[in-house]
Structure 1
Amino acid sequence: MSADFAVTLDRTAHSRLAFAAEPVKVGPWSVEIETARPAVTVWLDEGLLVVMKGQLYDLGPAGLLAMYRRHGQDFPRYVEGSYAMVVLDQRAGRVFAVTDRVGSHTLYAAHDGDRVLIASRPDWTGFRDRPLSLAGIGSVLVTGGLQGGTALYEGVYPLRRASVHEVGARDLHSTEYWSLVLNHAAVGSSADLSMELAGLLRSSVAQRVQASAGPLVLSLSGGYDSRGLLRLLAETGREVRTFSYALPGASAGTDAAIAARLAAQYGMEHREVRAYRGDLRATLDRNVRWGHGAAPFSDEADAWDELARGGRAEVFVGEQVFELSNPPRTNLADQLQHQRLGSFETLSWLSAIMPASSYGSMRDAWNAVFERVADQTRGVADPRDQELTLMLNENLPGALLPWRDRYAAQLGSVHQPYLDSKILDFVGRVPLNLLAGKAVFIQALKVLDPELLRVPLARTPGYKADWKREFITQRDAVWAGVTAKASPLDAVVSPEVLRGVLYGLTPVSAGATWRGMARQAVGQLRRQPLATRLLGPAVNRVRAVDAATFLRRALVLRDVLAGTADRAQERADMFESVDLAGFSLAAPIPSGDLLREERPDLLPPVLTD
């Protein structure tokens, strides 16, 4: 289900809210708000309106509004949740866009002086009159997503996580309300810290379960993270269903096979969902409809489609930041590549088939962004802190969380207990050696249940299709989709380039497949601590983006940018009507002591400058 919204602020127009009888003004701005209901929450109080995507775990509507009235723009410091919101304060004449600590839901903004646009989708129709961003296009083709602060259109940018962004006369003034303090100075033994983490994990999961009204489902793999959630959810006493992705004929060591054993260990119902059903064009179309150019390609889009047909649920997933490489990645290029960041060199093979001007412009635009991220990373001394910083600033908000927001959310609300603010603060102070290889987390799992690691880890995911083979066998249907309509991307990556790549694919021989598997196995062994001690750090080799991966990214992006010919219909498809009968800007929700009633522990002294 769509869970998007857009806010337009205009100094020159007399706009009105879709649900208001009179034009609405906030300071100098006339306001227009479009939302997808009921997935987007709209709360009103006297002179105050909040539009939010996501969920809060420690406050209800009245509590949030009272928190804002008490603390003003500092209120996010005291809020636990996974959200992106816009706050319109008529009394103060101020507008704020607010992002959560990790960037669970991205907001994109553009400020033209007299007009400000804020939307939760990078391909929102309000942005589409702008030129394409070559840096953003390059980011999608190289990394799979919008990394390094890029967007699809010039003049549009993602709003930084953990910040309050106030709309000013000429730009948005951003104030960071939280940052991860990397002092790693926690006192205590590893056993004590493991016990502390186990308690934090229990509390975080319990809080999210308490806020979950629907059935609980867990995306269960064969690794450490999701089995920890399995144990923690089992403790709550709620019924939990688990699922995993699979392809026919998967081996015994795949995620699905191990997940089934784990679910059986705790007596939970487990479902194996087919990741890909064989229709490449349909899979590409789902990535277009759901990803919107904001998220990496979903190999499992067919599985999410099937799961969504069973009704909405509360989805628990295991994104985390307590795993650092062991040994540390001392090579900067390796560090960046590990976080899905590479230079345009990874697509250098395109230079032979693209016009030099198009290739060079896109290369230079993306490489400028890449070098900026690299320079910022060099400013962090310890390579393990470099990894943690890149994970928080790039990989999570630019790749992993948009993927969850766009695909897992087709099933329902997405909960990420391991990204709770108290757990994040714990990560900042725990000694780095306990984060290497998830050492402290694995010990915490043993605290939760000594039998949790009895089932071995999965050896392979087992659900990713051979996309090269799929493109070869279905290329005529794919090419028919390209020729069916034009796209703004054609001016950068022409249909002729796509056709050359598509029809230039050749089957991989069995020998080449085995050699690739062997190189991968040797590479994994080479990075083990013993090999590093004996032979020194492994030499980083830049991994090229292969042709099938490029095609998946380019074809999805092409259709995202094409949109539909009818902008009005496209906007209607994106946004449902808003039904706020009984609410108005003049009819407040009673506040009084509601904050004290909902969360008395969230009443610290009023902050002063």
Structure 2
Amino acid sequence: MAKLILLCQRHGVERKSFPDETAILAKRLMPDNFTPSSPKILSEGGVHIAILNPNHLIPIQNTSVALGYMFEPEQDWGNPGESIPDGSMALFRTSPAAVELATDLMGSRAIWYAKTPSFFVASTSQRAIVHFLGSFEPDERARAWMLSSGTIGPGISWDRRINALPLNSRLYLDRSSWQTKLTMGETCFRPENRPHAVFLEQLQPIIKSVLENITMDPQQWILPLSGGYDSRMLLLQLHLNYRDIRCVTWGKADADKNRWTDAWVAKRLCKVLNVNHTYFVTEVSTDGFSTVFERFLAAGEGRIDQLEPYLDGFELWRQLTSSGAKGIIRGDECFGSRTLYSELDFRKFCLATMLADYEDFRRMDIAAQYPQTWPQHLTRRPVESMEMWRDRLYTDYLFPVWLSPLNELKQAYVEIMTPFISRRIIHFVRRLPDRLRTEKKLFRAAVSALSPAVPFARYPAIDLGRTYLKRRDVSQFMGDTLNSAHCRHIFPPILLEATIRNMRSNGSKPITQKYPITRKIRPFLPPRMVKTIQKTLNLQERVDYHDVALRCCIIDAMARKLEEDAKAFSTIDQRLYALTEASSPTDPHISHYRLSSLTAT
């Protein structure tokens, strides 16, 4: 529901302009279809914290903030240097001596930061940091990853000076020496060879214990219920303590009539359990695609290209907020993953494809302009089986690079709690043998053992296809953007020309668009059969130029926004906010960190 900005001035210098800058950022960084709460500002001894669109669910201790949910908070959780509480959150801790940032075990909520000779800034918003840096310096790596995968890539930001705090990490800033120390945890799987029944007997009480310890107001926290295993397990456990828990599902108008969809299954399950359930019909927004696109970028800052769930213009999330919902409980988890056939196959599943994976990009030599390398820490280790590497990639890539951006889109409206990333659950799962993590075999058995006789869904209730990109208004919007002077300044002509040409001719379509029947029958087929069919028909994934067009539009729009963010405060009289700190003109890095509203460096 909130974004957070932390600014620490060196030597305890106050930044008198901070409240006014916060007010400007609050207007720029929030979607335009609801009225956010007024920013909450905490200031002490040169540390300034702003919480945009705050609510009472956010834990605050002096000038320390946990943005998200702590499962078992300790009394001194706000003190830098103390143990990191278990939770799904981004943690910001301050004291007169130090500033500390910490991410949860899965990196479910991103923290970005930059350090200059005169100030340290951290935020859940890259755009806010660019504002305080006073300029925008694009990172071509983010553009490469957006083109190839629809994400900005692992540990990469839009601005090359901004760092991403890794998952399961803590960054400690000593305010006296102005030195930082980064401590990172390591994702390791240590499978134990025990029978299925033994592990099942152990897993069930762990999940039960984690969920029993959750304290919440069921009138303010809502459970989005799909037709799958994850949210069903949450409901089966939570409704034992919260009989008045509210569940919601959303999708197309007729989806609840098809017994294989999320909508029908969720409705049926809630009826059997006597739980309150509401189905929201989502319609394509009448506000116009350009408005929806701008709202999408305001909510998520362009970290991912998956716009299709939000084509209603975020009306669903506005309605939930208006109904009193302050937070949602999500079933994001890491109990295992799908059957693995090759490293490339799983990288495609994780949205981790690279420019070199596609013949189209290789032929145009796009990598010559956009450097892209596979991170060494994500490479398979000698001691890892393919399944261990698969599940580590799911943890270390998919969560921070894909799930975190998806959740950020919702966090403009509601807070998010993800109980299944509790340390107790994750550490247990990493002891499971490969066979019990593949296709989430053990977890599915645990859910089925508790579940009433209600089937699981085969299809989502919403349309997750990309056919909307072929709508006339969307094609016109993307075409105008690709032909703009700003866009042509960013991309090589060969890429823009190929994209525009193939959009018109509908060239290079992926398998599910060339053969739509595969989307219909795939949920009913074993994974190995799907792979066999693909190989037999020689159906290779190809670049879809409508996807490329959308990704170019995101890159272009974010560059525009970040350029504007750097200048957003320049209209205010700088003399009103002059600092007394001496500048350091001899430092070669000073020019990279010029402040737009302040002259001290």
Alignment TM class, shorter chain as reference: 0.7 to 0.9
1:604 aligned partner: none
Q: Could you tell me which of 184, 201, 208 is aligned with 1:202?
A: 208
Contact 2:2 2:52 in 1 (8 A): yes
Q: For the structure 1 residues 202 and 128, does the alpha-carbon distance in structure 2 shift closer, same or farther, using more than 3 Å as the test? A: farther
Match in the other structure for 1:457:
456
Q: What are the residue-to-residue correspondences of 1:373-392 with 2, within 5 Å?
A: 376-379=379-382, 381-392=384-395
- Structure 2 match to 1:58: 72
**Contact conserved, 1:100 with 1:162, CA < 8 A, in 2?**
yes
Once the two structures are TM-superposed, the CA of residue 496 in structure 1 deviates from its matched residue by 10
CA distance in 1, matches of 2:61, 2:525: 58
- 1:289 aligned to which of 293, 298, 305: 298
Q: CA deviation at 1:465?
A: 5.5
Q: Partner residue of 1:172?
A: 180
Match of 1:227 in 2: 232
Distance verdict in 2 for CA 1:41–1:318, change over 3 Å: closer
Offset from partner CA, 1:219-251 (integer Å, 9 cap, x none)? 111111111122112212331222223124444
Please, which of 390, 400, 407 is the counterpart of residue 397 of structure 1? 400
- CA displacement at 1:565 relative to structure 2: 7.8
Which one of 34, 41, 45 corresponds to residue 50 of structure 2?
34
Q: Which residue of 2 aligns with 1:607?
A: none
**Could you tell me whether the CA contact under 8 Å between 1:346 and 1:542 is conserved in 2?**
no
Query: Structure 1, residues 273-301: CA drift from partner, whole Å, max 9, x if none?
Result: 23441543333222111011234424222
Question: 1:583-594 alignment to 2 at 5 Å?
Answer: none
The answer as to whether partners of 1:108 and 1:159 remain within 8 angstroms in 2 is yes
Q: Match for residue 317 of structure 2?
A: 304
The DSSP-based 3-state class of the residue aligned with 2:83 is: helix
Whether 1:277 aligns to 2:287 is no
Relative to the length of structure 1, the TM-score reads 0.76
Q: Tell me by how many angstroms 1:400 deviates.
A: 0.8
Q: For the Cα contact (< 8 Å) 1:527–1:538, is it kept in 2?
A: no
Q: 2:246 maps to which residue?
A: 241
Distance change (3 Å), C-alpha of 1:131 and 1:477: same
Match of 2:447 among 445, 448, 462: 445
2: CA distance between counterparts of 1:130 and 1:314? 33
Give matches, 1:77-476, under 5 Å. 79-90=85-96, 93-124=97-128, 125-127=131-133, 129-167=135-173, 172-176=180-184, 178-185=185-192, 187=194, 189-208=195-214, 210-212=215-217, 214-250=219-255, 251-278=258-285, 279-301=288-310, 302=312, 303-326=316-339, 329=340, 331-345=342-356, 348-349=359-360, 359-363=366-370, 365-366=371-372, 368=373, 370=374, 372=376, 376-379=379-382, 381-407=384-410, 409-449=411-451, 451=452, 454-464=453-463, 466-475=465-474
Kindly state the Cα deviation for residue 388 of structure 1 after the two structures are TM-superposed: 1.4
Is the Cα contact below 8 Å between 2:139 and 2:160 reproduced in 1?
yes
The residue matched to 2:394 in structure 1 has which SS? helix
What do residues 425-465 of structure 1 show as CA deviations (whole Å, max 9, x unaligned)?
Answer: 1101122222222221122123334x2xx222222224126
Letter of the structure 2 residue corresponding to residue 235 of structure 1: L
> In structure 1, what is the Cα distance between the partners aligned to 2:533 and 2:468?
37
Q: Matched residue of 1:300: which SS?
A: helix
SS of aligned partner of 2:463: coil
Structure 2 CA distance for aligned equivalents of residues 272 and 343 of structure 1:
38
Q: Count residues in correspondence.
A: 536
User: C-alpha separation between the residues in 2 aligned to 1:289 and 1:97?
Assistant: 24
* 1:481–1:10 Cα change, 3 Å: farther
* 2:597 paired residue number: none
Q: In structure 2, what is the equivalent of residue 7 of structure 1? A: 7
Deviation track 1:176-224 (CA, whole Å, cap 9, x = no partner) reads 3x5444222275x42232232121222222222x144643322111111
Deviations, residues 466-507 of structure 1 (Å, cap 9, x unaligned) = 5435543214762597499976x6532379966874675358
5+ residue gaps, structure 2, are 20-39, 571-601
Per-residue CA shift, 1:310-355, capped at 9, x if unaligned? Answer: 23233111111112333xx252222322221011135653677x8x
Structure 1 residues 212 and 193 mapped into 2: Cα distance closer, same or farther (>3 Å)?
farther
For residues 124-171 of structure 1, the C-alpha deviation after alignment (integer angstroms, 9 at most, x for no partner) is 223561321010122223222232211101121210111111226676
- Cα drift, residue 508 of structure 1: 7.0
Q: In structure 1, list runs of 5 or more residues that go unmatched.
A: 573-609
Q: Is the 8 A contact 1:147 1:398 kept in 2?
A: yes
For the residue of structure 2 that corresponds to 1:387, the secondary structure is helix
Distance 1:433 1:306 in 2: 42
The amino acid across from 1:234 in the alignment is H
Distance 1:232 1:569, change over 3 A: farther
Secondary structure, counterpart of 1:257 in structure 2? helix
Take 1:22 and 1:410, find their aligned partners in 2: how far apart are those partners? 20
Question: C-alpha separation between the residues in 1 aligned to 2:10 and 2:151?
Answer: 30
Task: Give me the whole-angstrom Cα distance separating, in 1, the residues matched to 2:292 and 2:488.
Answer: 21
Letter in structure 2 aligned against 1:129:
S
8 A contact 1:123–1:560 mirrored in 2: no
Name the counterpart of 1:589: none
Shift in CA distance, 490/106, structure 1 to aligned 2, threshold 3 Å: farther
| CA RMSD across the alignment | 4.1
One-letter amino acid of the counterpart of residue 557, structure 2: D
CA distance in 1, matches of 2:560, 2:226: 35
2: CA distance, partners of 1:205 / 1:238: 14
Tell me by how many angstroms 1:559 deviates: 2.5
The percentage of counterpart residues that share the same residue type is 16
- Conserved 8 A contact 1:275-1:299: no
Q: Distance in 2 between matches of 1:16 and 1:85?
A: 25
